Amino acid sequence: PLALALTGVVRRYTQGQGALEILRGVDLTISHGQSVALVAPSGSGKSTLLHIAGLLEHSDAGEVFIDGTPTARLPDAERTRIRRMSIGFVYQFHHLLGEFTALENVAMPQMIRGLTRKEAEARAKDLLSYLGLGARLTHRPAELSGGEQQRVAIARALANAPRLLLADEPTGNLDPKTSDHVFGAMTELVRATGVAALIATHNLELASRMDRRVTLREGKVVELA
Q: Are 51 and 57 in contact (CB under 8 A)?
A: yes
Q: Are 167 and 90 in contact (CB under 8 A)?
A: yes
Q: Kindly state whether residue 220 participates in binding ligand ADP, applying the rule CB under 6 A.
A: no
Question: Binding mask 186-215 vs ligand ADP (x if CB under 6 A, - otherwise)?
Answer: ------------------------------
From 35-43, 62-70, 176-184, 203-211, give the range in contact with ligand ADP by CB under 6 A. 35-43
Q: How many CB atoms lie within 10 A of CB 19?
A: 11
Q: Kindly state whether residue 17 participates in binding ligand ADP, applying the rule CB under 6 A.
A: no
The only residue of 47, 129, 193, 215 in contact with ligand ADP, by rule CB under 6 A:
47
Sheet holding 61-66, edge to edge: 18-30, 4-15, 61-66, 69-70
From 1-9, 68-76, 82-90, 124-132, give the range in contact with ligand ADP by CB under 6 A. 82-90
The only residue of 32, 84, 140, 220 in contact with ligand ADP, by rule CB under 6 A:
84
Find the helix or strand (DSSP H, E) in which 68 lies.
none
C-alpha distances in Å from residue 1, one per residue of 72, 172, 196? 17, 32, 12
Judged by the rule CB under 6 A, the positions of this chain that interact with ligand ADP are 13, 22, 40, 42-48, 56, 80, 83-84, 89, 95
